[in-house]
Amino acid sequence: MEVVSNGEVIAVYRHANVLYAIDGVCMHQGGPLARGRLADGTVTCPWHGWQYELATGNHAPTCKPMLKTYKIQESDGVIEIDLPI
């Protein structure tokens, strides 16, 4: 799913029963990463296929840091994301 808070777009995923929250806008040309395909701990942008590691936000092929990640947790069915103030 995509969450927008204070103008920041964040993509939230549950992959292999682990929650992740990363920047939701692709660094290539702004594709919507919340609509990307998940596999092997990565998300693939739906527009041109750039891939990012869910745990780090790194560009998967090069390991170059690209996207911010956010701390996310679930308690009693409520998902909370730590956002910068």
Residues that bind ligand FES (CB under 6 A): 26, 28-31, 45, 47-50
Nearer to ligand FES, 21 or 60 (CB): 60
| CB 33, min distance to ligand FES, A | 7
| CB 14, min distance to ligand FES, A | 21
Instruction: Work out the number of other CB atoms within 10 angstroms of the CB of residue 59.
Output: 18
Q: What angle do CA 70, 6, 64 make, to 5 degrees?
A: 40
| CB 30, min distance to ligand FES, A | 6
